Amino acid sequence: MAQITLTLPDGNARQYDAGITAGEVAADISKSLGKKAISATVNNMHYDLAWPIDADADIAIHTMADEEQANELVRHDLAHIMARAVQEIWPDTRVTIGPVIKDGWYYDFDRKEPFTPEDLGAIEKKMKEIINARDPVRTEVWDRERAIKHYEDNGEPYKVELIESIPGDEPLRMYWHGDWQDLCRGPHLQHTGQVPGDAFKLMSIAGAYWRGDSKRQMLQRIYGVAFTGKEKLRAHLNMLEEAAKRDHRKLGREMDLFHMQEEAPGQVFWHPNGWTIYTTLQDYMRRKQRAGGYNEINTPQIVDRKLWEMSGHWDKYQHHMFIVEVDESRDGENDDAAAVNKAETRINALKPMNCPCHVQVYNQGLKSYRDLPLRLAEFGSCTRYEPSGALHGIMRVRGFTQDDAHIFCTEDQIEAECARFIEFLADIYAELGFPTFEIKFATRPEKRVGTEESWDYVENALEEAIRKTGRTYTLEPGDGAFYGPKLDFYLTDAIGRVWQCGTFQVDPNLPERLDATYIGEDGAKHRPYMLHRATLGSFERFVGILVEEHAGKLPFWLAPRQVVVASITSEADDYVAEVVAALKAKGVRAEADMRNEKINYKVREHSVGKVPVILAVGAREVEERTVSVRRLGEKQTSVQPLAELAETLAVEATPPDLRDL
């Protein structure tokens, strides 16, 4: 029999007969590893322990301690175990697909009766019975004809359709968990008992069209989450509970920040409180950008398709654009708006990004190398089509404003501008309460433009810029844009969720397409590089992140309603008005509550609205010219002189970039 060489992670090589399985290799290395093994990586492919290895390869054996592989197997096995449980309880149910997703899995079922929340408990109970049975998991490879006949005989038309849609004619892998069988590429564990029975939970039921086609059968999708231990499951469920409390949509209602409605899908109706946060943040960013050497501009919302064709976006991005057709023959006064003169119709698009318009500003007038780097910033309002199912509060919208900027520079200025931006971004993130962030460095993709030498230079420039700022990065090979590498900046919030906000992208392509030039020292024309950069990204999304990060208890300078002065008795109303006026004179957003309600009612109401400071004023406070101070989240109150408190709150109300001025 032919011999193969398998190389272990430590570099040691072992000889085996071709066809040996990863499970047999694990047992040969050591008995304990053979017992602990759950899968293997063979030449970068995740392998089932039962699959034969027929050629020389690198191999690594995995156990439950290998989080990535263990989670994949546990979740994949649970998808099958859940489908088996459903069919054992309701035999007439037909199965479709059940992939692994982030933190868990889902499976789609075709069943006449709708699943209920109570059914989830029954399914979980049956799943634990299957796990406790420790039924063996086995796999076979079948030809297509046999597989199709098997599913036709068992009344599973969805599986037949899946097989018929798989390209090629290679054999198919079939898996059994006990007597229950599914079509699956694997890998899987060796028996159902390897799945931790106390580390999973069924979460919800939703509708899902077969193969995502609204013209096809509506199926029922059951979602589950799973981990390698019950402590990790508990931590995840606690995080979800905390996330629900922090949901910006819920807090948006309680704090009266914004609303959405059907007549403007994906568009935000900002209320005074929400718009105060938005504009305060925007004013802060305007000051930071001005201090950072940026020139603020503003460009049109609607642009003729010709520019989008020149930039390349019309072909590559049109499916995200909102198209506007304008009959230029109308006089705007008397013509029938329903009549359209196609010969005079101009096709425009609401801009989905600002980049091409910024090149138009750059192109006005001759530029010299002495003018570079030129940093153009815009709070650019963009509109992009997102499927209605993808919209999510103010986190995922169709209309948004970016803190967008483009830096036009020479090749040898890229490194310095990148380092400068990283420090700029780090300063802003720290002032906004995110002192740490992660950088992901995406390098050249397989399909790209430009020379290898150019890519080498630019990638080295970005890497050196990161190094000079004293920061680390995670490499993402092949994830760069077709025109250049990029850095993405990720924040981690208070409950461990990760958000991609900032970005820095190197682009030699758009200046080429839109004929941007500068006069070099040699007197000849040269192409500038265009550096795309954003710090916060979408203001809408970043406001949502801030609201959830702070659970609505925003830093005092960002809070839309900073102070409420509430009267205890009507005799204190004049003093309430005086306190409000004194605070406003110090730049504090203060308002009066002189309603004929009990003070406890007022405190409770404003606490729900996340007002940071509530001042109670009664007869004693009037006489002593003091205020009773209650801060959000604190049970104790304190009594302070009005003048002293006004000075304290004036400092807290000052944005962080202005405090040392």
364 given a catalytic annotation: no
Q: Retrieve residue 626's tokens.
A: 């003091």
486 given a catalytic annotation: yes
403 given a catalytic annotation: no
Q: Nearest to residue 307, comparing CAs of 298, 317, 294?
A: 317
| Distance of alpha carbon 525 from alpha carbon 324, whole angstroms | 36
Choosing from 84, 351, 486, 630, which is the catalytic residue?
Answer: 486
Is the preceding omega at residue 187 within 30 degrees of 0, hence cis?
yes
532 given a catalytic annotation: yes
Choosing from 404, 488, 507, 593, which is the catalytic residue?
Answer: 404
Residue type, 483: Y
Please report which helix (H) or strand (E) contains residue 550, including its range.
none
Please, what is the Cα angle at 360 between 357 and 363, to 5 degrees? 155
Mark out the alpha helices in 154-295 (DSSP H runs). 157-165, 230-246, 248-254, 272-291
| Distance of alpha carbon 526 from alpha carbon 412, whole angstroms | 13
| Distance of alpha carbon 5 from alpha carbon 459, whole angstroms | 37
36 given a catalytic annotation: no
Neighbours of 41 (CB within 10 A): 19
Contact in structure between 492 and 442 (CB atoms under 8 Å): no
What's the CA dihedral at 84, 86, 90, 94 to 10 degrees? -70
Residue type, 284: Y
| Distance of alpha carbon 444 from alpha carbon 298, whole angstroms | 32
Choosing from 201, 358, 384, 448, which is the catalytic residue?
Answer: 384
406 given a catalytic annotation: yes
Q: Nearest to residue 205, comparing CAs of 267, 330, 114?
A: 114
Contact in structure between 196 and 74 (CB atoms under 8 Å): yes
Mark out the alpha helices in 401-531 (DSSP H runs). 414-431, 452-468, 509-513
Choosing from 69, 220, 402, 562, which is the catalytic residue?
Answer: 402
Residue 45, burial from CB neighbour count under 10 angstroms (0-12, 13-18, 19+): exposed
355 given a catalytic annotation: yes
Contact in structure between 544 and 553 (CB atoms under 8 Å): no
Q: Which residues are catalytic?
A: 355, 384, 402, 404, 406, 486, 532
